[in-house]
Amino acid sequence: MRVKRISKAVAVGAALALALTACAPGGGDAPSESAKTSASGTGTNSVEPANSGLADLGDIKTQDGEIKISVGSPEFIGYNNLTPQTYSTYNSAIMDRVLSGFVYYGTDGTIYPNKDMVSYEKTSDDPLTVKYTIKDEAKWSDGTPITVADAVLAWATQNANLKNSKGTQLFDSVSADLGDTVPKGPEGDAAGKEFTVTFKDPDPDWEIQTWMAQPAHVVAKQGGMSTDDLVKAARAGDASKLTKAAEFWNTGWTTKPGTLPAADSIPSSGPYKLKSWSAGQSVTLEANENYYGAPAATKTLTFRFTDDGAMVQALQNKDLDVIAPQPTVDTLAQLEALGDQVEIQKGDTLTWEHLDFNFRDKAAFKDSLELRQAFAMCVPRQEIVDNLIKPLNPEAKVLNAREVFPFQENYAAVTEASYGGKYDTVDIEGAKKILEEQKAVGTKVRIGYSSPNPRRTDEVATIKSSCDQAGFEVIDAADAKFFAPGGTQERGDYDVALFAWAGSGQITSGQNIYATGKPQNYGEFSNKEVDAAWKTLASSLDPAVHLEQTKKIEKLLWDNLFGIPLFAHPGLSASSADIQNVRHTATQSQIVWNAEQWVRAK
């Protein structure tokens, strides 16, 4: 299971996600459930959905024209968005239109099957067994059928038991646990459309495991083998035969900015395909004319790399049609000033801001719970929420948990059991006393985050104003390459990291962040009790067990101060009034979650 940062694996200072499944196109005829978090803005003459999933647009045809979008300024990274270097909300915003998965998230985190591509059913609880049937019509844009071989490749890339000659994971995937979770992988004819997976232990998040990603026939060809040979090697655990294929999967789709890989190596399984890339400017998608499901509503989508501060003006000037800026008071005021020219989308989100301590090397807080406690005592969480978040969401609260949100039903039960309110109020004198006792007055605290990010700059300034009074020396360690490969975060050259995680309501994804040695445990926190609680939670299908273990995990993370939760992000996006079907979502998928349904009113 994965988790995305909003500064993502190739973080850019926004947030990370709590698990990954590609978005799906098509109509929404999944179980009905009203959108709990969607606020305003469905677009003029937009189709009102029956639930939180994709709207049923009926019999549509792709309309000529272009819709221009920006979800931020970071450069596009590449076709393969599942490596630690490419796993970013910004990259996924583009590639989720191109590479479809078996499920997608509705606006409130409800899981919906991608019925254009697949159907599935759980056939047994003991052992947990699921049968998948890929639609006969499902094919890659180059005409190659989507088959069980593609599912086997997805499994192999997430199998840490496949190791290279150096003893490290063969496929450089952000996820590494599927080989242990489903030891035999997908069982079925590699060239067929049906397969079964049998889980070693119960998996609460079985429905969102990634069984479809990149094309097996392309990886096999680049690896100098047939698709059938690739499948056989993966199932046999023969890493030596997969070495060349893995090398291509790891880096072969990564090209210099502005240069797309060869067209025959980047087929699409979704409603759009990659058309062009202008370095530092934009990526353009065009409708996949060979798509087997509901066609894209608009022929061309262009994703422009625009700074947050320039988005509103670009929207007003018609240089952009849909924007997803970082929510700030000034941005909201600017959008409201545009009146009926725009539709504003607002609502709760499953993205949350936090400060994470670094437990690596010579970080200031590595070996001292007392110093972590002193820092937590001086961080003015309420002031940050009051000044930066409440003007956007008057109901905003300081966040006192990591796995649940204030607008969710179980939040009160979890926080009452796990957190006693010790850090609700700033205690300068208490923090100062600890620093004096530890002979640590003057301790430098480098708060690292991805820049530019005006709100985070304000957060750090607010923390510095408070914590310097206690005897710390807070340093704004912002870095444009904080989350980049080889950057500050990877080097561990910080004391506290400030970023966000963006999720979709998964049950077990936090294990990837807090358990020892997991891929997204960037600060290298380690606690045996936390590990054991996650193991219990992740191997049960019982909601009562999930709640019990979540309470335990949250308490342990507070008692040991893994980090300090701050607030849930308010959602804010906007679209030109003539763009139909733009809908807010609380999930990591961002405003573009249903971009294949957007269309300009005639």
Alpha carbon of residue 391 to chain centroid: 26
Q: 348-399 pLDDT, tens per residue?
A: 899 899 999 999 988 999 999 999 999 999 999 999 999 999 989 899 999 9
Nearest CA-CA partner of 509 in 113, 18, 132: 18
Contacts of 80 (CB under 8 A, 6+ apart): 86, 214, 249, 253, 254
Phi, psi of 433 (to 5 degrees): -60, -45
In angstroms, the CA 546 to CA 561 distance is 21
Residue 353's CB is within 10 A of a number of other CB atoms, namely 25
Q: 440-491 pLDDT, tens per residue?
A: 999 999 999 999 888 999 999 999 999 999 999 999 999 998 987 788 888 9
Query: Token pair 């905003």 is at which residue?
Result: 396
What is the average pLDDT value for the chain, to the nearest integer?
90
Please, what's the largest Cα pairwise distance for the chain? Answer: 72
Concatenated DSSP letters for 50-68? SSSS-----S--PEEEEEE
In angstroms, the CA 61 to CA 582 distance is 18
Alpha carbon of residue 63 to chain centroid: 30
In angstroms, the CA 404 to CA 410 distance is 7
Domains of the chain: 118-211+215-252 (3.90.76.10), 351-570 (3.10.105.10)
Nearest CA-CA partner of 105 in 178, 193, 205, 203: 205
pLDDT at 32: 22
Helix pair angle (543-560, 411-418), 10° resolution:
40
What six digits make up the tokens of 108?
Answer: 């409130």
Lowest model confidence (mean pLDDT) among 86-90, 220-224, 284-288, 530-534:
86-90
pLDDT at 22: 31
CB-based contact 88:12 (threshold 8 Å) = yes
Percent of the chain at pLDDT exceeding 70: 92
Q: 10-54 pLDDT, tens per residue?
A: 222 333 333 333 333 332 222 222 223 333 444 444 677 778 999
pLDDT at 8: 26
Is residue 326 scored above 90 in pLDDT? no
Alpha carbon of residue 490 to chain centroid: 19
Q: Which DSSP letter does residue 428 get?
A: H
Q: 162-196 pLDDT, tens per residue?
A: 999 999 999 999 888 899 999 999 999 999 999 99
pLDDT at 593: 97
Start-to-end Cα distance in the chain: 43
Phi, psi of 277 (to 5 degrees): -145, 120
In angstroms, the CA 143 to CA 277 distance is 23
Is residue 329 scored above 80 in pLDDT? yes
Q: 77-88 pLDDT, tens per residue?
A: 999 999 988 888
What is the spatial order of strands in the sheet that 194-198 belongs to? 118-125, 128-134, 194-198
CB-based contact 37:503 (threshold 8 Å) = no
Higher pLDDT, 108 or 412: 412
Rounded to two decimals, the pTM is 0.81
Mean pLDDT across 204-220: 96
